[in-house]
Amino acid sequence: MAPKVEIPTPPAELHEGPTTGELILRAVRRYSDRTALVGEGYSFTYSEMSHFVGRMMQALKDAGLKRGDGICLLSVNRPEVFMIRLATNLLGIRYTPLNPMGSADDHAYIVGDSLARAIIIDTKYADRIPTLEKADTQVDLVLTLGDADKGTNLLAAADTLDPCPAWNEANPADVCNLTYTGGTTGRSKGAIQRHHTSLSNVLMSVAEWNWPEDIRTLCVTPLSHAAGTLIMPTLVQGGTVYIQDGFDAEKVLRTIETEKISIIWLVPTMIYVLLDNPLLKEVDTSSLKLVVYGASPTSPTRLAEALDHFGSVFMQIYGQTEVPMNITTLNVEDHDPANPERLASCGQPQIGVQVKMLDDEGVEVPQGEVGEICVRGPLVMEGYWRKPKETEEALEFGWLHTGDMGRVDDEGFIYIVDRKKDMIISGGFNVYPKEVEDVLTSHPDVAQAAVIGVPDEKWGEAVKAVVIPRVGATPDAEALRAMVKEQKGAVLTPKTIDIAEAIPLTPVGKPDKKALRAQYWGSTNRQVN
């Protein structure tokens, strides 16, 4: 009989890692005099960044914010955005970014749902303050990045304080980020991320990606999205982050040449725009060692064209807000123009995650068959903020359900073939049809509306609406587009609207999106682009 072995039960905190803010404090000590962040016309060394963050932490505390409070931040791309996020993470404050391309109404919903105590807002969006203040929330602080008619200038308040390096007050178990994604119900959901989620994201990125020796990272997409997640792994390795407000092809190309940029994050649409820009033939882009792309499926044909021009520097990542950035990777060495089918893959599972294709009963499907892409691992969200039913559905069977349908080949490469949800990805941004359909059907001339994604050479997928008129009405397609743009913003505005007599229905009378998409996607065997 084997002897009984007593396995000790260690204290719960024994295996906790550092907070994400502490990772940056270590980098500050290691790389003090290096340049950390570069804005348009100004920069911060690691030491200067720490002192800015320290003053910001004190200013937030002086304003009355404390550990466990929530803030929402709306800003253009600028280095201060990351440093304010770092300050909140170090103070144990819950940070929620607002997508600058979203509408004021969407922002108001997130502010209210997140139970934010404070709004931090760039003066460019100061006209949205009244709308955000009306949200059903406990907001009692409006802090601005510059002088505005309303609110307290947070930057000016921080400038009056004595310089001091940043410090840590957060606990690894704190909710550090509450990041909102869309939902098929049309309402955004807040994905809860504690420090271990962010820590896993950074460690997996550093371990798996094809990082160059001299890391000079250029961020041009909103820091509220994927570009923002490049900053942490860049800084923990002593690199420099260059931040620009918006994507301008010529500006990006000239910056690559003058600043010797070695890594950049792009959505596929941006890659296509760079390839089509005449300046590309004139500038020296040889410093680029890694082009990270993702957020939407990529045209294998255009990807092969990019490989021909830039060389073997491309790496695809597949992730979502619930599993930020790091579900799968198609590494640089996997980008082989001689194997065009492989260029349609989203890669293999990243270090630290499990990925399986499951059926509706939670059973793994046989290799080569299509199932829902499901994920486990330390970087999976804790759940959806204040939405237990949606959390239960998303985490059914102990797996995070992505809503994407995929298959695995005999070498372990994953291919996304369709979407279980109706989400559209246009130019790297998620569009949820019901949000658009609800606006269209609010018009007195519209009886019914169905919104789908259709193939588009520039955007990957373009938002298309099909509407049925009310009896005796003649809807104006351009007027409907203008109405959606006013209420929901440019990203959600249909590129085209077709007026039809009927929309295909399922046997139970629901709009048949699959049949509707087939009219526009033709015979292709995958309905993502």
Q: How far, in Å, CA of 424 to CA of 450, rounded?
A: 13
Q: Who's near 326: CB < 8 A, 6+ residues apart?
A: 200, 201, 204, 205, 208, 317, 319, 350, 352, 353, 379
| Most distant pair of Cα atoms in the chain: their distance | 87
Do 184 and 437 touch, CB atoms closer than 8 A?
Answer: no
Following DSSP, what letter does each residue of 240-275 receive, concatenated? Answer: EEEE-SS--HHHHHHHHHHHT--EEEE-HHHHHHHH
Q: How far, in Å, CA of 235 to CA of 233, rounded?
A: 6
Quote the domain boundaries for residue 507: 424-521
- Per-residue pLDDT at 183: 45
Do 84 and 56 touch, CB atoms closer than 8 A?
Answer: yes
Q: Is residue 508 part of a domain?
A: yes
Q: Is residue 497 part of a domain?
A: yes
pTM score of the predicted model: 0.86
Q: Is residue 417 part of a domain?
A: no
Picking from 453, 428, 490, the residue whose alpha carbon sits closest to that of residue 226 is 428
Do 120 and 128 touch, CB atoms closer than 8 A?
Answer: no
Picking from 431, 435, 432, 429, the residue whose alpha carbon sits closest to that of residue 487 is 435
- Per-residue pLDDT at 395: 98
The Cβ-side half-sphere exposure at 19, using a 13 Å CA radius, reads: 22
Q: How far, in Å, CA of 343 to CA of 307, rounded?
A: 11
Q: Who's near 92: CB < 8 A, 6+ residues apart?
A: 67, 68, 169, 170, 171, 174, 176
With H, G, I as helix, E, B as strand and everything else as coil, classify residue 408.
strand
Q: Is residue 453 part of a domain?
A: yes
The residue to which tokens 């064209």 are assigned: 305
- Per-residue pLDDT at 426: 87
- Per-residue pLDDT at 184: 39
- Per-residue pLDDT at 134: 80
Q: Which residues pair with 177 in a beta bridge?
A: 95, 193
Q: Is residue 432 part of a domain?
A: yes
Q: How far, in Å, CA of 96 to CA of 112, rounded?
A: 12
The residue to which tokens 């939670």 are assigned: 362
CATH number at residue 480: 3.30.300.30
Polymer length in residues for the chain: 529
Which residues of the chain are under the pLDDT cut of 70?
182-186, 297, 418, 506-510, 522-529
- Per-residue pLDDT at 256: 98
Domain count across the chain: 1
Q: Other CB atoms closer than 10 Å to residue 430's CB: what's the count?
A: 21
Q: Which residues pair with 328 in a beta bridge?
A: 318, 349
In the 3-class helix/strand/coil scheme, how is 134-176 assigned residue by residue?
CCCCCCCEEEEECCCCCCEEHHHHHHCCCCCCCCCCCCCCCEE
Q: Is residue 436 part of a domain?
A: yes
Quote the tokens at residue 81.
């955005």
Q: Is residue 356 part of a domain?
A: no
What mean pLDDT is reported for the chain?
91
Q: Is residue 414 part of a domain?
A: no
- Per-residue pLDDT at 529: 56
